[in-house]
Amino acid sequence: MPATFIIALAQIDPTVGDIAGNVALIRAARAEAAKAKADLVVFPELSVVGYPPEDLVYRPAFLDAAEAAVNDLAKDTADGGPALIVGAPWRGEGKDLGKTFNAGIVLDGGAISAIRFKHHLPNYGVFDEARIFDSGPAPGPVVVRGLRIGLMVCEDMWFEDIAETLVESGAEILIVPNGSPFDVEKPDVRLNHAVARVTETLLPLIYVNQVCGQDDLVFDGASFVLNADRALAVQMPSWRSALTLTAWTRAGDDTLVCQKQELAAPLSKMESVYQALMLGLGDYVRKNKFPGVVLGLSGGIDSALSAAIAVDALGPDKVHCVMMPSPYTSQESLNDAAAVAKYLGVRLDTISIGPAMSAYDAMLKDLFAGSNADITEENLQSRARGMALMALSNKFGKMVLSTGNKSEMSTGYATLYGDMCGGYAVLKDVYKTTVFALSKWRNAHKPVGALGPAGPVMPENVITKPPTAELKPNQKDQDTLPPYDALDAILHGLIEDAAGVAAVAARGFDLATVKRVYKMLKTAEYKRRQAPPGVKITHLAFGRDYRYPITNGFQDDGAAK
């Protein structure tokens, strides 16, 4: 290898299935790295096709297109510029005929110079790789211009056996292309695994992650380099595409050493979560080619925060807010909705649902005769609002943004075909207590890259007033639900911790309350199955992570911890 070996880390935002677009991103990054005389450019896992490709891998035409793209990229490297490490699904040959692998591929000198297959296939949480890919053998090093690289694709870094095999077979450096989805605990978990591999092998390690939103997943980038002494030499930024050049030289003992750079500043938990919600929504709208979003702005905190995130992600011109008052809507709510719209600079229209309520009353009068008004009439209000938003979406093309949070999704405190209707639910994995925290944070900070205002995004009154659906006189959320501090702690125990009713009650909660929350959680599963996708920020989000049967006879009665 040359005296100084320049490796570029390309933290890009690919789109699943857009092979031509992804190849364009790869070529642009390579061209930029070539100007700096880079020897090698490393891209994230499955960068040619986007991650996760899911059942596209079953389609021969998709695999053909991926293979053709890789071969075209290989031809580019005949120009004497940087070599590439890219990722793509790859069909086996010979004894592996009929198998498909998740491959890390080295391109250099106008050809494919080496291919290594992912060995450990994650099959938990959001991952189904064991379903679509075959496990490759434990890999040996690849040689790129005299440098012996141990190539470990994503999950292979989480186990010690692959790194051990690579160091024993002569690797000088570990390179880990990743498609690692974000959750609030993930950055520390990744770094801990990387440190463990460096400690075991005494080799430096490069970790390259993508940065993008893909349906309900979001990827934060935050790529990094550890030297052999476990010191952090490079920390790339979170939540934005970037290309970073790293310079490697040999120490006196022949160990490879990366020249230390100024590290990207760490983000607070609230900023990381807010950035995740921005990127998830923004990429979903842009990549699915919606012209913008439309949402109901009620004067409450959930819709105010949803609108703020949408404006920050897309710009105020792409966010259409609608206030849909009923006879039970307070003047306070009308004022707060108008203030939020003014803060954010968005269009706000008003559509009264009074005529729809009267029409439903007339339609159902004979069948409802002799019965008292109850939750049925409340849900009709929510559904009238949902119909109005869907009509606007159908007429003008903007996607309906659902504004419900994880506390509501957990307990069923949401109406099917009403406030649950929409194409995307930006707060789907955000507990109500976190909604409050995010709203306070955003009023005091403008996130990097945000397209919204620098100042507050909602009046303080929206944050401090008692939450209410305003579907009947003097209604408050706490009429039906426990206080949110207690509710969210109970839900976290039941969902993220998978703790039993008795075990959660033992944390200091009333047993009867925990039983009631557990019953609501279990009963609402059929609603969650019909909910729109939303950004995953916790380690156990509804949807891919949480797969409980709707028809479920098991009842946790709290008898045992």
User: How far is Cα 113 from Cα 424, in angstroms, rounded to an integer?
Assistant: 42
Q: Report the chain's C-alpha Rg in angstroms.
A: 26
pLDDT of amino acid 96: 85
Average pLDDT, the chain: 93
Q: Is the pLDDT of residue 256 over 60?
A: yes
* Beta carbons within 10 angstroms of residue 522's beta carbon: 16
pLDDT of amino acid 414: 87
Assign a CATH topology to domain 5-261.
Nitrilase/N-carbamoyl-D-aminoacid amidohydrolase (3.60.110)
When pLDDT is averaged across residues 427-450 and rounded to a whole number, the result is 96
pLDDT of amino acid 561: 55
pLDDT of amino acid 471: 65
pLDDT of amino acid 479: 65
User: How far is Cα 313 from Cα 450, in angstroms, rounded to an integer?
Assistant: 6
Does the global pTM surpass 0.85? yes
Question: How does residue 560 score in pLDDT terms, banded at 50, 70 and 90?
Answer: low
pLDDT of amino acid 539: 85
Amino acid at 557: D
Burial 151-167 (b: 16+ CB within 10 A, else e): bbbbbbbbeeebbebbb
Q: Is the pLDDT of residue 232 over 90?
A: yes
Q: Is the pLDDT of residue 277 over 80?
A: yes
User: How far is Cα 25 from Cα 8, in angstroms, rounded to an integer?
Assistant: 14
Residues belonging to the active site: 45, 118, 154
User: How far is Cα 152 from Cα 141, in angstroms, rounded to an integer?
Assistant: 10
Q: Are 323 and 297 in contact (CB under 8 A)?
A: yes
Write down the domain spans for the chain: 5-261, 270-467
Contacts (Cβ under 8 Å, ≥6 apart) of 469: 378, 382, 475, 477
Task: List, for residues 334-343, the tens digit of each pLDDT value.
Answer: 999 999 999 9
Q: Is the pLDDT of residue 470 over 60?
A: no
* Beta carbons within 10 angstroms of residue 185's beta carbon: 12
When pLDDT is averaged across residues 272-299 and rounded to a whole number, the result is 96
Q: Is the pLDDT of residue 280 over 70?
A: yes
CATH 3.40.50.620 correct for 270-467 = yes
Task: List, for residues 193-229, the tens digit of each pLDDT value.
Answer: 999 999 999 999 999 999 999 999 999 999 999 999 9
Half-sphere exposure of 255 (CA within 13 A, CB side): 14
pLDDT of amino acid 472: 62
Longest alpha-carbon distance in the chain: 91
When pLDDT is averaged across residues 373-379 and rounded to a whole number, the result is 88
Choose from 372-381, 386-395, 415-424, 546-555 the range with maximum mean pLDDT: 386-395
Question: How does residue 126 score in pLDDT terms, banded at 50, 70 and 90?
Answer: confident
Question: How does residue 559 score in pLDDT terms, banded at 50, 70 and 90?
Answer: confident
- And the tokens for 496? 């993220």
